Amino acid sequence: MNTVVTLAKKDIKVLLRDKFAMFWIVIFPLGYAVFFGTVFGDSGGPRAGMYVALVDEDGSAYSQAVMEQLAAHDAVLVDAEESGALLNRSLDEARELVQKGQRTAYLRLPAGFGENPYALFGGASGDGPQLELGIDPGRQAEAGMLQGVVMETVFGALQERMLDTDTVLADLGEAQLSLAEADDVDPTQKFVLTTFLSALKGFVSAFDMGQLGLGTSDDADGADATVGGFGAPLAVVDVTRQRDGEPRSPYDITMPQGAVWGLLSVALGFGITLVRERSSGTLVRLRMAPVSHAQLLGGKALACFTCCVGSMVLAILFGTVVLGLRVDRPDLLVLAMFSTAIAFTGLMMTVSVMGKTEAAVAGSSWGLTMPFAMIGGGMIPLMFMPEWLQDISVVSPVRWAIISLEGAIWRDFGWADMATPSLVLIGFGAGFFALGVFIFRRTGG
Amino acid sequence: MIDVTSLAKSYGDLRAVDDVSFCVNRGEAFGLLGPNGAGKSTTIHLLAGVIAPDRGKVRLDGADPQEAIVRTRLGVSPQELAIYEELTGEENLRIFAALYGLRGDALVERVHWALDFAGLTDRRKDRAAKYSGGMKRRLNLACAVVHDPELLICDEPTVGVDPQSRNHIFESIEALRASGTTLIYTTHYMSEAQRLCDRVAIMDHGKLLAADTVDALIEAHGGSSLVLAEFDEPPPADAQLPGTLDGTQLRVDSDKPFELAAELGRGPHRVRSLRVERPDLEKVFLQLTGRSLRDS
């Protein structure tokens, strides 16, 4: 085993010092994923921002004002009808969109929300109908930010309402009427409050409220600061995603594609190193050492496998940290990476015996792997391919690699779902490896 | 130590090695001399267990070098530069030391020894790609001896090497010989074989034509010595002189060159200079194959 590890470390070291190979293994795949992910993202597909579905069950002017404030916020996107009016969805519809990952969250404005806009100042939490923010529990960062944005817009709408003299006078009139009808209020307090409301009504009547300069809706800091002090008019509801996964962002599609390009480069890189060793004489030297055929190939395979896994880990880490990629099933991702690395290690072995010179191997291996990439979804996502081409793509390990990676990242695969692509990939790996070893031994290494 | 019996290997119609037999004793330096394509490298590959013979056998103290464990006793410096140019000299040595089973302090100690042996201690952290041709050759040899083998096989170790590095390689190999390492050395330079080897085998077209000490080969196959004399004045046409006279220069083939030289010195014609050329391995090769080693 020491011999295999020594050979593998040597091969990895040699590969890491080949700048050209590292470009194709590291830079190109990430560049591919970022470039096409960005292009898809700007072409009308689902966005990777805070896309909020609106559910207005209140239908009041105040709820409409809150929604418009939200729509105007820079950090939020909402759906609009062709006429420009905000699209009001049913609660079930909005929840489904969030469950499928097509919307970041939904905001529900319940019936009765607009009846008492001043409930924010009403003391205990839970008084009156609460706003409802439905969001995936995994999106903690977005949830926190959206709570702040919603509270900011609610206070903004309330502020606008208080700047309208007629509305305030009407609200004060309703308050006086309610006070007069109340039986459970202490007479002394009732007198004081009635006097105060009358004075306030007189004050509001004497001025144009719009000229009082109560601040602007851009005063976001003030709005945020008041959230804690006025209880919690916003309830956050967990929305569990459905099992039939959909991509949450274009990077869900382009990152696995990019990772597969990295894997192809690893397989080709190691395939070429084997023929380079043959032509440079180091292969003969290794065989003059106490190294068996099996150890020689084992070392090459271990190095290729390690680099395949490393390449995928790097791509996924980059996607997670930089592009906001989220892995639904890390445990299945480990299985996907393992089986994918086996497949591409086997492919490396076949590639390495496809010629006697570096140029021959490079040329013939691209001839083999490019069709795999083309029909397997490495260039055009599988979902955009015609059905007949998707049927043909089953012969490509690229297809199964992408499906297994997507399965762990966003397709909501379970262990049973992952079994097929994993077994197919391992089968591909074993088949390719056996073919490569057969040719290698037949040609005397 | 090494017994080679009726070894044969063909590639298609080409008989690369044809019924070759010889033995090498422990501590001996044995040369395989022959032109390019004579079958020396194929013989080396057979000795090192890289390829299997079609017929015959190779035994290292009775064991087959095709078994990995037996190969730990061998060190082979291939004709081609078989080093990893992307790695440093030290990394190359560490890899080969590890492949031969060295670990820990023993590995570190041997790697330092090999760097010193190759004169690369100061450049040990540089990638081999940055080395000169001579330095690469020295590293190539150092990789073969880093594990302290009992038998060192050098396949044309001085090809394309500058005089300084060539001298360094010679001195290094002579030091190994002095320490008791058995040596098998292939070359097409006669001077190298004569300088390094106790016994020499001459190969051509896959066949081993003769194998013995250098003196014995010359004695058996070198033919006469050549005596070259130059007179002060041209001898008269009827002068009784052996050989071929051309003006003042006389050329004579003789089995007793020194006696002839003395006789010419005592003769009536005044000799300005006298030179005796003894037969060498080049002449042995010419006698055995009918062609010059350099022309092959």
A19-A22-A28-A31 Cα dihedral, nearest 10 degrees: -90
Q: Out of A10, A285, A291, name the one closest to residue B68 (CB).
A: A291
Please say if the pLDDT value at position A214 is more than 70: no
Q: Looking at residues A154-178, what average pLDDT do you find?
A: 77
Q: Please check whether residue B271 lies inside any domain of the structure.
A: yes
pLDDT tens digit sequence for B178-212: 999 999 999 888 888 888 899 999 998 999 999 99
Q: Looking at residues A250-271, what average pLDDT do you find?
A: 89
CA B151 from centroid of its chain's CA atoms: 15
Please tell me whether residues B13 and B39 are part of one structural domain. Answer: yes
Q: Looking at residues A358-383, what average pLDDT do you find?
A: 84
Q: Out of B86, B96, B143, name the one closest to residue A18 (CB).
A: B86
Do B27 and B182 touch, CB atoms closer than 8 A?
yes
Please tell me whether residues B35 and B108 are part of one structural domain. Answer: yes
Parallel, antiparallel or unpaired: strands B14-24 and A50-56: unpaired
Which of these, A259, A256, A249, lies nearest to A139 by C-alpha position? A249
Kindly list the residues from chain A whose CB atom is less than 8 angstroms away from the CB atom of residue B83.
282
Q: Verify whether the Cβ–Cβ distance B80 to A280 is below 8 Å.
A: yes
Shortest distance between the Cα of A254 and any Cα of chain B, in A, equals 33
Q: How far apart are CA B72 and CA A290, in angstroms?
A: 6
Do A401 and A340 touch, CB atoms closer than 8 A?
yes
Most confident of A173-182, A241-250, A315-324: A315-324
Place of tokens 């003969």: A284
Q: Verify whether the Cβ–Cβ distance B86 to A291 is below 8 Å.
A: no
Shortest distance between the Cα of A104 and any Cα of chain B, in A, equals 49
Please tell me whether residues B52 and B177 are part of one structural domain. Answer: yes
Q: Please check whether residue B293 lies inside any domain of the structure.
A: no
CA atoms within 13 A on the CB side of B231: 20
Q: Verify whether the Cβ–Cβ distance A282 to B86 is below 8 Å.
A: no
Q: Does B71 touch chain A (CB under 8 A)?
A: yes
Please say if the pLDDT value at position B101 is more than 70: yes
Q: How many domains does chain B divide into?
A: 2
Kindly list the residues from chain B whose CB atom is less than 8 angstroms away from the CB atom of residue A280.
80-82
Shortest distance between the Cα of B275 and any Cα of chain A, in A, equals 46
Please say if the pLDDT value at position A219 is more than 60: no
Most confident of A21-25, A67-71, A135-139, A422-426: A422-426
Length of chain B: 296
Q: Does B232 touch chain A (CB under 8 A)?
A: no
Please tell me whether residues B185 and B82 are part of one structural domain. Answer: yes
Sheet containing strand B249-254, strands side by side: B244-246, B249-254, B225-231, B271-277
Please say if the pLDDT value at position B48 is more than 80: yes
Q: Out of B78, B84, B127, name the one closest to residue A284 (CB).
A: B78
Q: Verify whether the Cβ–Cβ distance A281 to B81 is below 8 Å.
A: yes
CB-based contacts of B243: which residues, under 8 Å, 6+ apart? B227, B250, B251, B252, B253
Please say if the pLDDT value at position A119 is more than 70: no
Q: Verify whether the Cβ–Cβ distance B50 to A14 is below 8 Å.
A: no
Q: Please check whether residue B231 lies inside any domain of the structure.
A: yes
Q: Verify whether the Cβ–Cβ distance A284 to B69 is below 8 Å.
A: no
Shortest distance between the Cα of A291 and any Cα of chain B, in A, equals 6
Q: Verify whether the Cβ–Cβ distance B87 to A2 is below 8 Å.
A: no
Provide the total of helices (H) and of strands (E) in chain A, helices listed first. 17, 5
* Neighbouring C-beta atoms of residue A190, cutoff 10 Å: 15
Shortest distance between the Cα of B86 and any Cα of chain A, in A, equals 6
Residue A106: beta bridge partners? Answer: A53, A134
Please tell me whether residues B90 and B134 are part of one structural domain. Answer: yes
Q: Output DSSP code: residue B88.
A: B
Please say if the pLDDT value at position B115 is more than 60: yes
pLDDT at A227: 38
Best of B9, B46, B74, B86 to mutate (most A CBs within 10 Å, chain A): B86
Please tell me whether residues B45 and B135 are part of one structural domain. Answer: yes
Q: Looking at residues B39-52, what average pLDDT do you find?
A: 90
Please tell me whether residues B120 and B172 are part of one structural domain. Answer: yes
What pLDDT band is residue A363 in, cutting at 50, 70 and 90? Answer: confident
Q: Please check whether residue B129 lies inside any domain of the structure.
A: yes
CATH numbers and ranges of domains, chain A: 2-42+247-442 (no CATH), 50-163+214-238 (3.40.1710.10)
Within A324-357, residue ranges assigned H as helices are: 330-352
The residue segments making up the domain with residue B259 are 224-278
B164-B167-B173-B178 Cα dihedral, nearest 10 degrees: -130
Kindly list the residues from chain B whose CB atom is less than 8 angstroms away from the CB atom of residue A285.
76, 78, 82, 96, 143
pLDDT at A221: 38
Most confident of A214-223, B83-92, B271-280: B83-92
pLDDT at A46: 40
Looking at chain B, the whole-number percentage of residues with pLDDT higher than 70 is 98
Which of these, B220, B203, B219, B200, lies nearest to B211 by C-alpha position? B200
Q: Please check whether residue B90 lies inside any domain of the structure.
A: yes
Provide the CATH number for the domain around residue B173.
3.40.50.300
Kindly list the residues from chain A whose CB atom is less than 8 angstroms away from the CB atom of residue B80.
280-281, 284
Q: Does B155 touch chain A (CB under 8 A)?
A: no
Please tell me whether residues B214 and B230 are part of one structural domain. Answer: no
Shortest distance between the Cα of A282 and any Cα of chain B, in A, equals 4
CB-based contacts of A410: which residues, under 8 Å, 6+ apart? A101, A245, A246, A247, A248, A252, A326, A328
Please say if the pLDDT value at position A216 is more than 60: no
Q: Verify whether the Cβ–Cβ distance A10 to B84 is below 8 Å.
A: yes
Q: How far apart are CA A345 and CA A187, in angstroms?
A: 87
Q: Please check whether residue B296 lies inside any domain of the structure.
A: no
What pLDDT band is residue A425 in, cutting at 50, 70 and 90? Answer: very high
Max Cα-Cα span within chain A: 108
Q: Which helix (H) or strand (E) holds A321?
A: helix A293-323
Q: Verify whether the Cβ–Cβ distance B76 to A288 is below 8 Å.
A: yes
The mean predicted confidence, pLDDT, of chain B is 89
Please say if the pLDDT value at position A391 is more than 90: no
Most confident of A87-101, A127-141, A298-312, B66-80: A298-312
Q: Does B78 touch chain A (CB under 8 A)?
A: yes
Report which of residues A62 and B138 the model is more confident about.
B138
How many contacts, defined by CB atoms under 8 Å, are there between A and B?
A: 66
Q: What ipTM was assigned to the predicted interfaces of this complex?
A: 0.81
Please tell me whether residues B211 and B233 are part of one structural domain. Answer: no
pLDDT tens digit sequence for B138-154: 999 999 999 999 999 99
pLDDT at A206: 64
Q: Please check whether residue B288 lies inside any domain of the structure.
A: no
Q: Verify whether the Cβ–Cβ distance A280 to B49 is below 8 Å.
A: no
Please tell me whether residues B72 and B106 are part of one structural domain. Answer: yes
Q: Verify whether the Cβ–Cβ distance B71 to A2 is below 8 Å.
A: no
Q: Does B159 touch chain A (CB under 8 A)?
A: no
Please tell me whether residues B119 and B264 are part of one structural domain. Answer: no
Place of tokens 């006086």: A176
Most confident of A5-9, A198-202, B244-248: A5-9
Do A270 and A301 touch, CB atoms closer than 8 A?
no
pLDDT at A418: 92
Shortest distance between the Cα of B293 and any Cα of chain A, in A, equals 26
Q: Could you give the angle at the alpha carbon of B231 between the alpha carbons of B227 and B233, nearest 5°?
A: 155
What pLDDT band is residue A70 in, cutting at 50, 70 and 90? Answer: confident
What pLDDT band is residue A212 in, cutting at 50, 70 and 90? Answer: low
Q: How far apart are CA A140 and CA A148, in angstroms?
A: 13
Please tell me whether residues B29 and B117 are part of one structural domain. Answer: yes
Q: Verify whether the Cβ–Cβ distance B68 to A286 is below 8 Å.
A: no
Q: Please check whether residue B286 lies inside any domain of the structure.
A: no
**What Å distances lie between residue B181 and A262, B60, B114, CA to CA?**
48, 14, 15
